[in-house]
A and B are shown apart, each in its own frame.
Chain A
Amino acid sequence: MWTAPLALIGRNALGLIRYASGLSELTAKTVYWTFVAPFKGLGLKGRSAVHQAVLVGYTAVPIVFVISFFVGMVLAFQGAYQLEKLGATYFVAALVGVSMTRELGPLITAVVVAGRSGSAFAAEIGTMKVSEEIDALEVMGLNSVKYLVVPKYLAMVVMLPCLTIISDMAGMLGGAAFGAAQLDQAVTMYATATSEALVMKDISTGLVKSVVFGAVITTVGCYEGFSVRGGAEGVGKATTSSVVVSIFSVIVSDLLFTALFYYTN
């Protein structure tokens, strides 16, 4: 039948719309319970947020550092490969500094955190859903968004920029290591070249993006967890798709914000 492909497109589009509206509903609830409810005296789970901050932030420092260090080094390699032809290897530092702070620092951090913490959110909430713990919370009159999502959300929007700063620095260190070993640039000279090239806006736009990424990863991970159906298999599926969807959404929002910063220059 010629209508079959149309039906397929329609079904997928409907699924997408349902997913998007579910996500925005959760976002609205989360924002309410994070920024509005505490001022109405409805409370905030501060201790739980600190606990989450340790889990998503502090324990991710080594992996974010190492990966960013290597990416910075790779950037320096690739940059030198082109710039050597022009005899402009001095600008390797600028290349690494600007690309790390504007783009790669936030992005690498977001990808690592989506894999580590976004999946953990989906698995945790999904397991609670399967074992009726979410229902038990609701029956007691305890809001599951306030108790489960808000602490993670707060932790993520605070810790992701912090991790991004570490990632930025680690990337530049990687570049400097390459510069010292391969281009005979002293570390001090590399640092000067970096600071000449960087402006405050490079760093700040990267940090703004990382806040958005933190919010996106939390919302997707938690939403996937809440939408778990069935048993252990459902939790597995939700965990996988939380990583796929959050990395996808991070890249889409990255594109949007980069375009926004480009045009509002």
Chain B
Amino acid sequence: MRGEIEGPMIRVDDLVTHFGERRILNHVSLDIQQGETMVILGGSGTGKSTLLRHMVRLEMPTSGHIYIKGQDVCHMPDGKFNEIRRKMGMLFQSAALFNSMTIEENVSLPLRELTELEEPTIRIMTRIKLDLVGLSGVENFMPAQLSGGMKKRAGLARALAMDPEILLFDEPSAGLDPITAAGIDMLILRLKQAFRMTIVVVTHELPSAFLIADRMTVMQRGEIVAVGTPDEVRNHPDPRVQQFMNRVPEDEARDVQAYLRTLTE
């Protein structure tokens, strides 16, 4: 069905990004292979979501490149990138459904706007995508009428509308109860088995990460500290990785002298 490509599906090459003066990503390089599920782990503010946003060009790097199927997406015109973007789906942290549209309109929007399909075909495809994520019978609801978990599922249905080859998840279980979050994990696993999509998940939930990952990346302070299979990462010698795996808090002991000085300055 899908042509095999040479090299990795997504290649991040020496990416550096600043927000103002602050460096968010510090020489990040990462390869994500076709058909694998890559989980990017890290605490809050480590730049993992920013890295994900670069892959869909919501952010532009200060320097470095991102290649998707071998094409440099940071330095190509919008029109050309739109072609690539159509084969990518993204589920946002807040699901990002359009609040002024029904669930059906939300999911069918990409089909309506980007394809020449007939209305009945669009309706059937929308129904299929909603069934796929376990949301039947809510087509005419507004997003505000759905629970957090259902919104995520609807957002996923919309991300799947164009049959993407690459699916990106930004904190899929954020703000969900453990049971609903587990449901989303199962859904990701099912999608992975059924469609052989390349999946990138940004999360800080360890159980969920070890459940779905083929390979994982651990980030800290804008740098990648470990890449490997779940077992390799679990047994990684780097103390920063172990700190994250064992949920050890940041060292709070500080230099008393220095602290007093900051108070009196």
Contact = CB atoms under 8 A, between A and B. Distances in A.
Interface of A: 127-128, 131-133, 135-136, 138-142
Nearest to A146: B113
A131 B82 contact: no
Nearest to A140: B110
A142 B93 contact: no
A138 B96 contact: no
B58 A133 contact: no
Interface residues of B, number: 22
Contacts of B200: none
B82 A141 contact: yes
Contact of B58 (A127, A131, A139, A142): A139
A133 B158 CA distance: 12
B85 A133 contact: no
B56 interface: yes
Instruction: Give chain A's interface secondary structure class.
Output: helix
A131 B94 contact: yes
B253 interface: no
B99 interface: yes
B114 A141 contact: yes
The 4 closest A-B pairs by CB, nearest first: A132-B96, A136-B96, A141-B82, A132-B92
A221 to B, nearest CB: 17
B113 A136 contact: no
B96 A133 contact: yes
Contacts of B113: 140, 142
Contact of B56 (A131, A139, A142): A139
B90 interface: yes
A140 B96 contact: no
6 contacts: A131-B99, A139-B85, A140-B113, A141-B85, A141-B114, A142-B113
A132 B96 CA distance: 5
Contacts of B99: 127-128, 131, 133
B227 interface: no
B175 to A, nearest CB: 13
Interface in B63-108: 82, 85-86, 88, 90, 92-94, 96-99
Given A140-B85, A141-B85, A141-B86, A135 B109 contact: no
A45 to B, nearest CB: 10
A133 B106 CA distance: 11
Contacts of A133: 96-99
Given A131-B99, A141-B114, A142-B113, A136 B85 contact: no
